[in-house]
Amino acid sequence: MDGTIYLGDHLLPGAKRLIEGLRTLGKPVRFLSNNPTKDPHQYLAKLEKLDIPTPVEEIANTVVTTTRWLKANHPDATVFPISEQPLKDALAAAGIKMSDNPEEIDIVIASYDRTFEYRKLQIAFDAIWYHKRAILITTNPDRYCPFPGGRGEPDAASIVAAIEACTGTKCVANMGKPEAVMLTAALGDLDVDPTNCMMVGDRLMTDIGMAINTGMASTLLLTGDSTLEEAQALPEAEQPTYVLERIDHLIPEEIRNEWGWSDSDS
């Protein structure tokens, strides 16, 4: 969503009418995010504030995928989430046991955590390296989270790197784009083949990478992280299907003209 529908607290040009237009055409829309610092209800509130009302069922992020994956694959595991409160709340609601005692931890979850400190790194180290009982997973593989004005914050990949560096272990599972687990979460209530879907996003590694991994068409928007030059430098098989300057150009030009859309009044 960030860098595609909005940037910070502001809608990107054409985003609102694009969503409305797709819904008018009867096309299902699903919102995805690798950001685990908010839960779907917080994203719902933000989209509503930006005048894009959306049912919570149409929103999926790594809080959702991480919780679902643990329930499906390790329902009895004790986890140590290096994360912010939304993920912890979701784990608790799902009945997943959490602990910061290295002797009890089966899975260390490395996430986007602005409260990361040496104490948390030591717990992860002890659980994985000293007690040799825990595995390492991550909510998302992003190196940083971009902000308006060209700034950003270190994201989950930096936490993963710190744990891998001291323990010598490797992260065994990623719950976010570009992995198919995110697509499964997004399309769970739709009877649709991924080849009939399009992934739209601003990041080549995650958004476009997931499309390529799952056989979807893809559109790179030049409103966020990745650039046209970066896309063109990739091998042909890794390039997006389309590259657009504006998200509302997903609607074909003849339909935009029929609806009276122009780039100057969105």
Whether the CB-CB separation of 179 and 210 falls below 8 Å is answered with yes
- The string of DSSP codes covering the chain is -BTTTEETTEEPTTHHHHHHHHHHTT----EEE--TTS-HHHHHHHHHHTT----GGGEEEHHHHHHHHHHHH-TT-EEEEES-HHHHHHHHHTT-EE---TTT-SEEEE---TT--HHHHHHHHIIIIIS---EEEES---SEEE-GGG-EEE-HHHHHHHHHHHH-----EE-STTSHHHHHHHHTT----GGG-EEEES-IIIIIHHHHHHT-EEEEETTSS--HHHHHTS-GGGS-SEEESSGGGGS-HHHHHHTT--TT--
What is residue 21's predicted lDDT score, i.e. its pLDDT?
A: 94
pLDDT band for position 147 (50/70/90)?
confident
65-174 and 6-62+178-195+207-223+232-258 share a CATH fold: yes
Whether the CB-CB separation of 87 and 81 falls below 8 Å is answered with yes
pLDDT band for position 233 (50/70/90)?
very high
Sequence ranges of the domains in the chain:
6-62+178-195+207-223+232-258, 65-174
pLDDT band for position 264 (50/70/90)?
confident
Each residue's pLDDT tens digit, 82-110: 999 999 999 999 999 999 999 999 999 99
CATH architecture of 65-174: 3-Layer(aba) Sandwich (3.40)
- Cα angle 76, 116, 170 (rounded to 5 degrees) comes to 55
pTM of the complete model = 0.89
Mean pLDDT of 101-128: 98
Which residue's structure tokens are 């599972």?
173
Considering the four listed CATH numbers 3.40.50.1000, 3.30.465.10, 3.30.830.10, 3.40.718.10, the one that applies to the domain covering 6-62+178-195+207-223+232-258 is 3.40.50.1000
Each residue's pLDDT tens digit, 171-230: 999 999 999 999 988 888 788 999 999 999 999 999 999 999 999 999 999 998 899 999
pLDDT > 70 in the chain, percent: 99
Cα(59)–Cα(78) distance, integer angstroms: 27
The mean predicted confidence, pLDDT, of the chain is 94
Mean pLDDT of 17-29: 94
Residues 6+ apart with CB under 8 A from 2: 8, 33, 35, 145, 146, 224
